[in-house]
């Protein structure tokens, strides 16, 4: 594991690749930035610094996407998920400080794989009340400030409700954007946003721009069953990778 500063070319390459790939996937699927970015970045930099880099760049990504896709969002669903996520954020910050990185990653990875299995069986929760949204939002908030990986609970909720690709992307992007602001404010208030973390995010910005520019032309071709398969593959890959990295 690297020390407190990004000083080697190898570390810069790892962070750049992580950010570029994650930005590309985020554009196509509507989620996946932190889910893919965090496991790769933590190969080179500490989790606490990776969380800052991911949160800073994710805020930019999701803010732009939510504005661009705003006409397709589901406002009541966005409101329920966002409010409950904010309730969970303080708990996530406490967990970040008291629970080991390895334990957090194992729990996250196993949870993601379980959710993927259920969704692959075409789980349909459209009949379930708003409590599902509240629970998913709360868990998302906890994960947001503990591992900067708040996507899985939201993906599970929206996918189990069988939202079409356009509504899925717009709704989850809006929640991400609103929650990123809160998470960033909490990190700043607790002194988690260091000059080193900001420096790392700035260095990774060109890779983020490349990933975004490649992803937008491809995004329009991902819908229907193709989109569903993409979501499941991303979740399975992220869950497996997270567990493997945690145990090595």
Per-residue HEC secondary structure of 18-60 comes to HHHHHHHHHHHHCCCHHHHHHHHHCCCCCHHHHHHHHHHHHHH
Is 15 in contact with 44 (CB distance < 8 Å)? yes
How many domains does the chain contain in total?
1
pLDDT-wise least confident of 31-35, 70-74, 93-97? 31-35
pTM: 0.77
> Do the domain assignments include residue 2?
no
Q: How far is CA 180 from the centre of its chain?
A: 10
**Domain of 188, in residue numbers:** 9-247
How far apart are alpha carbons 197 and 216 in whole angstroms? 27
The pLDDT tens digits for 201-220 are: 888 889 989 998 888 888 77
> Do the domain assignments include residue 49?
yes
> Do the domain assignments include residue 117?
yes
> Do the domain assignments include residue 4?
no
> Do the domain assignments include residue 118?
yes
> Do the domain assignments include residue 1?
no
Q: CA–CA distance from 124 to each of 24, 38, 46, 128, 156 (Å)?
A: 29, 29, 38, 9, 11
**Amino acid 225: pLDDT:** 75
* Reported confidence tier of residue 136, pLDDT bands at 50, 70, 90: very high
- Tell me the average pLDDT across 150-156: 86
**Amino acid 78: pLDDT:** 96
- Tell me the average pLDDT across 149-175: 89
Query: What's the sign of the alpha-carbon dihedral 31, 34, 36, 37?
Result: positive
Non-local (6+) Cβ contacts of 92 within 8 A are: 141, 142, 143, 144, 145, 146, 147
> What three-state secondary structure class fits 103?
helix
> Do the domain assignments include residue 110?
yes
> Do the domain assignments include residue 143?
yes
Q: Closest by alpha carbon to 67, among 177, 141, 168? A: 177
How far apart are alpha carbons 119 and 125 in whole angstroms? 10
* Reported confidence tier of residue 76, pLDDT bands at 50, 70, 90: very high
């Amino acid at each position: 594991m690297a020390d407190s500063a990004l000083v080697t070319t190898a570390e810069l390459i790892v962070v750049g690749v992580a950010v570029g790939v994650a930005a590309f996937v985020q554009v196509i699927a509507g989620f996946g930035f932190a889910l893919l970015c965090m496991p790769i970045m933590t190969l080179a930099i500490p989790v606490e610094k990776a969380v800052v880099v991911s949160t800073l760049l994710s805020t930019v990504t999701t803010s732009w996407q939510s504005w661009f896709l705003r006409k397709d969002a589901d406002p009541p669903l966005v409101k329920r998920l966002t409010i409950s996520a904010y309730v969970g954020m303080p708990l996530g910050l406490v967990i970040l400080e008291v629970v080991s990185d390895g334990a957090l990653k194992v729990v996250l990875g196993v949870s993601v794989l379980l959710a993927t299995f259920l969704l692959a069986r075409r789980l349909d929760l459209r009949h379930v009340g708003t409590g599902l949204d509240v629970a998913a939002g709360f868990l998302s908030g906890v994960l947001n400030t503990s591992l900067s990986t708040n996507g899985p609970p939201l993906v599970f909720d929206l996918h189990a409700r069988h939202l079409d690709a356009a509504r899925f992307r717009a709704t989850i992007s809006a929640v991400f954007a609103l929650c990123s602001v809160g998470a960033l404010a909490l990190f700043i208030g607790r002194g988690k946003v260091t000059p080193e973390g900001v420096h790392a995010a700035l260095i990774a910005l060109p890779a983020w721009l490349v990933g975004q520019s490649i992803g937008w032309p491809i995004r329009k071709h991902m819908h229907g069953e193709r989109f569903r398969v993409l979501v499941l593959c991303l979740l399975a890959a992220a869950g497996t990778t997270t567990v493997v990295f945690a145990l090595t």
